[in-house]
Structure 1
């Protein structure tokens, strides 16, 4: 039974932000390099969460502006990466100006978006010849014990593929795709965090969450691995596509591909998503701009 106080799986992660950060896998460096390129560029990350992908991007030298609709998730990102610009925002109403980024990156979040609105917004904020990059970790459930774990968790990592969505939008070139193999070391503690961080578990009542946690722990103990841990295999699937010129010039109510493109009126877009917390006020100006360098279109949020 889901918790009526938190019924939306897409917005359930804030309540389990710590478990998400401890239990979810990162992304392989070679996959992120293939997505974004080897040269440092300006990156907007949508659905950044606790910064799993952000850490890899920063480690590769990219200038990252991270957004997520959940402040609890961003608090953890900011604690780990205090120099990264970050603010609350959704893919459907991106809180920045036009044509500011070389790459828009989405890790483990694209399936939550309203794609018609989000792709229009992504086209708006990308520079000419910019690209959209999508990356998704999926457990390799061809392996019997991983398949059993997936059944216990109750929601397998589905084989999500954004290719058709991108093609139908008419806003991006044909997507290129590549799959990378990697492993996550899980132990007796992190496997519990992994299950608690799943959206379908996060919306359960506390007693049901605890029951699911105990089931997964018993499964792990049944293998007798203890604190030595085990390697959980993942297929990291990655796609990138280049924005088309007309995606940056769509008019209100025009039709592109299968979707009616609705331009978001600047008067309706929130100028600055105000924070409900103040712990990052000294450590991190949420967005830093320098009008003299031409980036005065970026919104300022000195939380």
Structure 2
């Protein structure tokens, strides 16, 4: 039976996913502990790939749910980490309970998200004081041979594998009203490369998957030739990386979301939560609006009993500051 998809597409995707096992570096334990502070946290990892970071988060004692829209990547993740629950798709497609996870973690895939849509979903899913953390690798291009290798591995300008930049990620988070100040940390790690695994450096690049089999073979030959020039024979070579991590806490504020989910109904004799233009408002404001409309309503509904205005309260725990939110005033006396 003929496949419904072009034969090269799944083969290319599977080869990229398999090559990630040896073609992409891992994460130092101290970085993982900083990205998700504390112990036994509930973590949602989006853009999990084959589970390089997932593996470290599980080893640190966290309960992780991995999400990725690439079925081939998740196939490898399931094989490597069969006990980890996974979901194929995007975070926007998930039916997440509000304030249900302690931390949301993402790696390089963060730069491919539509953050105007993704950040509100993340903010709603995080518990009060919960963290959003983004972590990614950057080759240490201060070393000449690493610069030469990196120029080849990143592919054409604008390709997905062009590395993210710290300023880009940090600025997007700083400009979001959903999160507080952004913390940054940088770590160093070395990836061991030998004659067998050097090919995976190039095969793990998504732009390579779009090439013809002949072009992929030529790309492998080029990186193998590079290794022959700069490698150290049977001892292999170590590719240096700086591992960048940023972390920020969610800021839950009254009226921040326009669907009424950031307010709780007072159930004693009250109807649905009141809203103005889809945004929940305080009971006092609702009473004032009701009084203002009362005169007009009397002319149209003589003799009819007017229904008491609905009331609601904000979730006190949701909006209690822990000293890290934007209600902190910082004064520099220098």
TM-score by length of structure 2 reads 0.69
Encode CA deviations 1:25-60: one digit per residue, 9 max, x unaligned: 111111111111132210000011100000100110
Question: Which entry has the higher C-alpha Rg, 1 or 2?
Answer: 2
Encode CA deviations 1:157-197: one digit per residue, 9 max, x unaligned: 34244111112221100110010011111111222111111
Contact 1:67/1:90 (<8 A) preserved? yes
Inter-CA distance 196–242: structure 2 relative to 1 (3 Å threshold):
same
Backbone CA RMSD of aligned residues? 2.5
Q: Secondary structure at the match of 1:212?
A: helix
Q: Secondary structure at the match of 2:245?
A: strand
Q: Which runs of 4+ in 1 moved over 6 A?
A: none
Contact 1:179/1:238 (<8 A) preserved? yes
Which structure is higher in RCO with an 8 Å CA cutoff and minimum separation 6? 1
Match of 2:35 in 1: 35
1:191 paired with 2:215, answer no
Q: Please give the residue correspondences for 1:1-303 in structure 2 after superposition, counting only pairs within 5 Å.
A: 14-155=14-155, 157-161=163-167, 162-246=169-253, 249-251=256-258
User: 2 CA distance for matches of 1:238 and 1:113?
Assistant: 17
Encode CA deviations 1:272-291: one digit per residue, 9 max, x unaligned: xxxxxxxxxxxxxxxxxxxx
TM-score by length of structure 1 reads 0.75
Equivalences, count: 247
- Structure 1, unmatched stretches of 5+, are 253-303
User: 1 CA distance for matches of 2:83 and 2:73?
Assistant: 16
Alpha-carbon deviation of 1:94? 3.1
Contact 2:16/2:206 (<8 A) preserved? no
Contact 2:15/2:204 (<8 A) preserved? no
Match of 2:320 in 1: none
Inter-CA distance 167–150: structure 2 relative to 1 (3 Å threshold):
same
User: 1 CA distance for matches of 2:117 and 2:258?
Assistant: 13
